A and B are shown apart, each in its own frame.
Chain A
Amino acid sequence: MTSPSANVKSRGDQFATRLETKITHETPNRDNPYQVECLRMHGYEHTALMEKCEFSAVIFLLFRGELPNNTESELFKQLCIALINPGPRHPATQGSMVAGVGKTISVNVLPIALSLYGGDYDSAGDVEAAMRLFRRKSRKPASAFVDTISHGDGNDKGDANDEETLPGFGTLYGDPDAYARKLLEHFATLSPTPVIQWLLAANSLLAEHTIGVTKAGVCAAVLADLGFLPRQGCGLMQLMAAPGLLAHGVEYANKPITSMLFESDDNYEIETTENTLNGGKE
């Protein structure tokens, strides 16, 4: 058969000729209209923010459109620090260290690490889906949510029977993530907000399922309670982890390549498969 698709016509979409934003208001420099004279974010003058605000508060402002109140500020700041360093064993940090020790140009180290940190195992990839799940499910008691898992009757995405489709929950190296639980308990003490409290209850009830909250789940709960949108979640968690990821990569930038892992041939096992037995040949 042949396709009628060869007859190509423009859809006639009207594309923007100017960009528009609610975030940044620039005033042009008098002499060069491409340069900025004054910069405001959500109405606030840039240098005033520099003088009077915490870094984390300005991040909050950029995404939420308002500066945080004292309670929000404390919660958000503590979340930023909670997630600031995935630690040297995390695959994304190892990626950063490999880039550093491999003498990858410096500007590429953080993007490499953040790309890996976009995965959904002990990383930021799950946050958006977890926020959607938590926002929806936290309207009812945690027990109702856990029951849907127990009975395996969840047709709704996010109510599935295995952890792979249960964003914000899972295991870390075979067991519930004990440190994520510790962080959750810390935030539950700090904040009586609904999603965090719901997640704490759900996490306790899930213990019998041998899964628990993940760090992405903790991040999702705090962000949801602070009013962030699900689509902002993954990037915010990446942003929060960036300092630790970068620090470890740069730490290795001046070290010899022998300071990084390179398994010996004895510890490099090529598994024979049916495919490799016949050389993968067609």
Chain B
Amino acid sequence: MNHQLWDSYRGKIKTKKGGWRIGKGVSSHGYDLLNDVVGHYSYMQVVILNATGRMPSRELADWVEAVYICLSWPDPRIWCNRIGALGGTVNASAISATCAGIMANDSRSYGARPMLEGVKLIQEAKKRITLGERLEDFVMSKIKESGGLPFLMGYARPVAKGDERVATVERVTKSLGFVEGGHLALAYKIEKFLHDSYGESMNINGYASGFLADQGFSPDEVYRMCTIVVSSGITACYADSADRKQGMFSPLKVRDVLYIGIRDRKLPL
């Protein structure tokens, strides 16, 4: 019987985050939320504080906000956005449709979850290369792991080659006064190798992973601060289709679906 540890939590909440003391105020990580934070810090600073336990500088929060904006395209062809738009067309609630889209970006191929792998990759690369492994060998080992395809997390992307958001965030990095750290410098070197060898380049995940690793964040912290990174674009797509006549987003005639299964048959007796 090893359940004693759970007995100390029964009927009791323990938290390192803070909370509401009724009649006394609300604390968050040692801050008085309503007096010390509201009006003094930006919302994105609080997002990062709540996700990581550390209050970032305003500049860093503005940088993360820029990434959020970069992932807020109101284009319903993007998978998570499409889910929002489909929610709108059936008149689901804005919250459920947006949450459904956010859940979709918990994906192995796009959105927030790849940030987890992206930060892990660049941290692993830095560690292994610092220990003496050649960059080319590291990259090739990762290509081998991904079945011979040059689709390392943070490099290449679906639908298009290149990523216009990288230049945008580079501009933001510069304007906010950040200098390039070791992880980001390595991310560029990996990109150069992949570009020279396969014509693939860094995507916004790769850039953000290198930058945020340089800021001392762990993979889990980055993932947690980016949980709703795509939400705004989803809500936009939801709103557009919800404001039209129902069923008008992506209507399909019966014949728009090709049946390739077994022929008509009768139930066994």
A residues whose Cβ falls under 8 Å from a Cβ of B = 1-11, 13, 18-29, 33-36, 40, 42-45, 48-49, 52-53, 65, 67, 105, 107-108, 111, 115, 171, 173-175, 210, 263, 265, 267-271, 273, 275-282
Contact = CB atoms under 8 A, between A and B. Distances in A.
A167 B245 CA distance: 46
Contact of B31 (A10, A20, A43, A279): A279
A44 B265 contact: yes
B257 A276 contact: no
Contact of B203 (A5, A40, A173, A265): A5
Contact of B260 (A1, A20, A263): A20
Contact of B55 (A8, A42, A105, A282): A282
Given A7-B161, A21-B257, 4 more contacts: A3-B191, A36-B254, A171-B2, A279-B31
Contact of A34 (B54, B159, B252): B252
B55 A25 contact: no
Given A3-B170, A10-B160, A107-B96, A25 B27 contact: no
Contact of A273 (B2, B16, B21, B203): B16
A42 B164 contact: no
A280 B159 contact: no
Interface residues of B, number: 73
Contacts of A279: 29-31, 36, 55
B256 interface: yes
A280 B29 CA distance: 6
B49 to A, nearest CB: 6
A11 B103 contact: no
B251 A1 contact: no
Interface of B: 1-6, 11-19, 21-22, 27, 29-31, 36, 49, 53-57, 92-93, 95-96, 99-100, 103, 158-164, 166-167, 170, 180, 185, 188, 191, 195, 201-203, 207, 247, 251-268
B262 A3 contact: no
A67 B12 CA distance: 49
A108 B30 contact: no
Contacts of B31: 279-280
B167 A3 contact: yes
B12 A270 contact: no
A9 B164 CA distance: 10
Contacts of B55: 279-282
A267 to B, nearest CB: 4
A279 B54 CA distance: 8
B6 to A, nearest CB: 5
B202 A3 contact: yes
Contacts of B254: 26-29, 33-36
Nearest to A6: B167
B170 to A, nearest CB: 6
A21 B167 CA distance: 41
Nearest to B196: A4
Contact of A8 (B2, B54, B163, B207): B163
A108 B96 contact: yes
A265 B180 CA distance: 46
Contacts of B257: 18-21, 24, 26
B237 to A, nearest CB: 18
Contacts of A174: 1-6
Contacts of A52: 267
Contact of B54 (A2, A43, A275): A275
A260 B199 CA distance: 58
A42 B12 contact: no
A9 B162 contact: yes
A173 B100 CA distance: 31
A25 B259 contact: yes
